[in-house]
Amino acid sequence: MTIDTAQGEQLALRAWARLSIDGVGLIEGEVVGFNRAIVVVAIAEAVRVPRDRVATISLGVDAEEAQGLLGTTMLAVTHADGRRCVAVALADDGELRQRTRIRVPFDTRVDAMVITSRTTSDHTYKYTAFDLSTKGIGVHGPREIPLRSEALLRFAVPPHRGTIVQVRGVVAYCRAVNPRSFQVGFEFDRVGRSQIQQLHAAVTHLANHS
């Protein structure tokens, strides 16, 4: 596939991009095509980039840099001058929610600080996650939490080591597995754009590696 950058926005100054792609690593190159939906980056490395991988994007023009964009890799393309390129479809909030409604198996520690409950208040409990989506998380542990209780949840997510999500959750269900173990389903509430992006990246990574 050959691309023509005339269809995108004109790049008067030197524009560059740094892509951190799930399962591939860090790639840098020149931006040769850009619009509200797609960014195309010419790369020098002979790197194979699979499609449908989450990419965190830093864009820059000359010395200025903007971070925090998120997208998904498309098919490899070739620039009109013969250079190899990576095309990334940029995601907005609606696309993130629509594409990652699936639940995937997930295993990590979750700290839950209950902030509204009929029986307890401002207590932090430790649970273990068993599934995750962009809409909520399922956990199990020794504590029962009443329905509709609110909690501040904190847990680590892939694909980047050390990434911590902190989000408010509302108890959608609480089931007793046995007298000492409960399954609790939290529905995320008041989720910001950066949190949606982190959750989208985590769910996509887990789905691709399950």
pLDDT at position 197 is 79
| Residue 122, pLDDT above cutoff 50 | yes
115 within 8 A of 150, measured Cβ to Cβ? yes
DSSP 8-state code for residue 117: -
Helix (H) or strand (E) holding 15: strand 15-21
- Checking 124-129 for CB contacts under 8 A at 24+ apart, the result is 127/184, 129/155
Tokens encoding 133: 């989506």
Q: How far apart are CA 105 and CA 39, in angstroms?
A: 31
**Average pLDDT, stretch 50-54?**
81
| CATH topology match: 2-90 vs 104-208 | yes
CATH number, domain 2-90 = 2.40.10.350
pTM of the model: 0.58
Domain ranges within the chain, ordered by starting residue = 2-90, 104-208
Query: Which ranges constitute the DSSP H helices of 71-209?
Result: 93-99, 193-208
**Average pLDDT, stretch 8-27?**
71
Number of H helices, E strands in the chain: 2, 15
Q: What is the mean pLDDT of the chain?
A: 81
Q: Hey, how many other C-beta atoms are within 10 angstroms of the C-beta on 32?
A: 22
Q: What is the pLDDT of residues 87-119, one digit of tens each?
A: 998 876 555 444 445 788 999 999 999 985 455
* Domain at 104-208, CATH class: mainly beta
Q: What is the pLDDT of residues 70-87, one digit of tens each?
A: 788 887 788 888 888 999
Q: How far apart are CA 34 and CA 32, in angstroms?
A: 7
